[in-house]
């Protein structure tokens, strides 16, 4: 069933227009962009509140409040921003009350937020605590088993070095083990508390990171293959399954760790694996709905290993890669749709048509990028055009068509390096990770990021 252009924008406008909005996120620039989107959709008034300022020009016409938070790493900066929004200082509370003296506003928070109220204003699309709990990597295997999903063998052990080493020895297939800490210190992503352990030095490094923050860890064999994700959307009577996306997860050697660096739709898995992953999304989505009352977008992350796709974690929330899949769809308010579904807005979502729209657009409009935060760096703000040449990246010469556009600038915890790959200059089918690794290797040499050698995963199917 085809949809008219901007069907979903028109669908959601009456909901957005029904109240003022306070948008609170860890980065003000992101909050202001969301606030501008709400204003464009008919919100009578908007206010953006952010932890840190962020990089770039703020949209015009959006009033803002910045809280001045930061951190020495990406996760630390996110946590600081979220904590400040959960317990706003008096000056921010006063600004929100002046903006919304009747207390009629609704709140909007970041995709990874637990959704606590903003200055007493209820947050639209807030997640139930039972849903948030599933992001703990040490508990999710029970869900895979209950839903009948094949997975790698795992052991969850106390944060004890001898117990971790013993579990690793039992599970190692010859390439080491992966340790993932629990959520005692709150949600964590971007491989912040996930470490690849091959030798005692790796164990020392991993334990030093995990032990202060976690009580237990999930130990599993290291799986060679393609890190990838599959998204689904849970409705009352339907589970939409999207298409697999490559997760750009590169490997550092000194110290040995993973570097998450965004996502891509240039990669195509074998057709049978694609079908299997989409079927898996439908099965898990139905389980989440039936057992936990879940609604909205969710993501299954895992590895397309030699034996097929094996899940490693569940993100019961809007996933970053869905933004990559939907960039070719003008007027699709994907995050707002997710919040509407979670909040039970009675709208004519047309799930089958939405599935066809997103999957067909993602297949036709390939997209991919690399982005990573590097702590302890004070970078310049620069933009460069890059070309892929004989297996490496260099700057484009005058008049030379680029393969990627690169930028670097300040981040609350250091530097943010980012590149967009140009669709008609990037091959469809192969992994994007080798080119992503080459971009960051080039940036490391130019800006002294301290990344060291980076390796790409390889397909084993």
pLDDT digits (tens, 9 = 90+) for 375-409: 888 889 999 999 999 889 999 999 999 999 999 99
pLDDT of 31 higher than 90: yes
> 153-222 maps to which CATH number?
3.30.1490
**Which of 244, 227, 272 has the alpha carbon at shortest distance from 358?**
244
> What pTM did the predictor assign?
0.95
H helices of 156-260, where?
161-171, 200-210
Domain boundaries, the chain: 7-126, 153-222, 369-431+438-455
Q: Are strands 177-181 and 46-52 parallel, antiparallel or unpaired?
A: unpaired
CB 229 within 8 A of CB 244: yes
**pLDDT at 43 exceeding the cut of 70:** yes
Q: Is 363 helix (H, G, I), strand (E, B) or coil?
A: helix
- Please report the pLDDT score of residue 57 as a whole number: 85
Average of per-residue pLDDT across 330-355: 96
Residue 18: pLDDT band (50, 70, 90) is very high
Res. 185: pLDDT tops 90: no
Predicted local distance difference test score (pLDDT) of residue 1: 60
| Alpha carbons 360 and 268: distance in angstroms, whole number | 14
Higher per-residue confidence, 190 vs 138: 138
Strands 216-221 and 155-158: antiparallel
- Output the pLDDT for position 3: 85
| Dihedral Cα 165, 167, 168, 171, nearest 10 deg | 160
Q: How far apart are CA 284 and CA 146, in angstroms?
A: 10
Mean of pLDDT over the chain: 95
Give the pLDDT of residue 272: 98
- Residue 401: exposure state from Cβ atoms within 10 A (0-12, 13-18, ≥19): exposed
From residue 123, give the alpha-carbon distance in Å to each of 126, 127, 175, 303.
6, 9, 44, 34
Is a pLDDT exceeding 90 seen at residue 191? Answer: no
pLDDT at 40 over 80: yes
DSSP annotation string for 66-87:
E-----SSHHHHHHHHHHHHHS
Q: Which segment of 111-115, 153-157, 431-435 scores lowest on mean pLDDT?
A: 111-115
Spatial separation of the C-alpha atoms in residues 40 and 36, rounded to whole Å = 6
Region of 73 please: left (phi>0), alpha (psi -120 to 50) or beta. Answer: beta
Using CA atoms, how far apart are residues 204 and 211, in angstroms rounded to an integer?
A: 10
Q: State what percent of residues in the chain have pLDDT above 90.
A: 87
CA dist., res. 433 & res. 120, Å (int): 44
Predicted confidence at residue 65, as pLDDT, reads: 97
Q: Is residue 372 predicted with pLDDT exceeding 70?
A: yes
Q: Mind listing the pLDDT tens digit for each residue in 123-165? A: 999 999 999 999 999 999 999 999 999 999 999 999 999 999 9
| DSSP structure class, residue 118 | B
> Tens digit of pLDDT for each residue in 235-255?
999 999 999 999 999 999 888
């Amino acid at each position: 069933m085809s949809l008219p252009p901007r069907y979903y924008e028109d669908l959601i406008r009456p909901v957005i227009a029904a109240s003022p909005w306070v948008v609170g996120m860890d980065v003000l620039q992101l909050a202001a962009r969301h606030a501008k989107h709400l204003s464009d959709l008919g919100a009578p008034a908007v206010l953006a509140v952010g932890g840190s300022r962020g990089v770039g020009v703020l949209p015009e016409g959006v009033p803002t409040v910045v809280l001045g938070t930061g951190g020495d790493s990406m996760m630390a900066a996110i946590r600081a921003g979220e904590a400040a929004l959960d317990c706003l200082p008096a000056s921010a509370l006063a600004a929100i009350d002046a903006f919304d003296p009747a207390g009629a506003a609704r709140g909007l928070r970041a995709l990874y937020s637990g959704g606590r109220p903003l200055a007493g204003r209820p947050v639209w699309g807030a997640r139930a605590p039972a849903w948030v709990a599933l992001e703990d990597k040490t508990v999710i295997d029970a869900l895979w088993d209950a839903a009948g999903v094949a997975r790698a063998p795992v052991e969850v052990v106390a944060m004890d070095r001898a117990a971790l080493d013993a579990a690793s020895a039992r599970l190692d297939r010859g390439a080491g083990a992966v340790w993932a800490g629990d959520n005692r210190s709150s949600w964590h992503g971007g491989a912040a508390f996930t470490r690849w352990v091959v030798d005692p030095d790796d164990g020392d490094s991993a334990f030093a990171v995990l032990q202060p923050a976690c009580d237990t860890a999930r130990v599993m064999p290291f799986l060679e293959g393609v890190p990838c994700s599959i998204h689904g959307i849970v409705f009352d009577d339907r589970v939409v399954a999207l298409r697999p996306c490559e997760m750009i997860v590169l490997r550092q050697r000194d110290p040995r760790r993973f570097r998450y660096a965004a996502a891509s739709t240039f990669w195509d898995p074998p057709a049978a694996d694609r079908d299997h992953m989409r079927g898996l999304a439908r099965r898990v989505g139905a389980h989440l709905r039936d057992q936990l009352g879940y609604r909205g977008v969710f993501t299954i992350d895992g590895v397309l290993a030699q034996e097929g796709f094996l899940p490693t974690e569940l993100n019961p929330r809007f996933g970053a890669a869905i933004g990559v899949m939907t960039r070719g769809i003008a007027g699709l308010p994907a995050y707002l749709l997710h919040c509407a579904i979670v909040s039970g807005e009675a709208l004519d979502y047309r799930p089958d048509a939405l599935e066809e729209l997103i999957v067909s657009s993602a297949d036709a409009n390939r997209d991919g990028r690399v982005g990573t935060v590097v702590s302890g760096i004070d970078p310049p703000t620069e933009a460069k055009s890059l070309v892929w040449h004989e297996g490496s990246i260099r700057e484009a010469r005058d008049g030379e068509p680029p393969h990627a556009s690169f930028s670097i600038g300040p981040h609350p915890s250091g530097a943010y390096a980012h590149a967009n790959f140009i669709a008609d200059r990037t091959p469809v089918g192969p992994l994007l990770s080798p080119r992503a690794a080459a971009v960051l290797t080039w940036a490391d040499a130019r800006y002294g990021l301290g990344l060291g050698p980076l390796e790409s995963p390889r397909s084993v199917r």
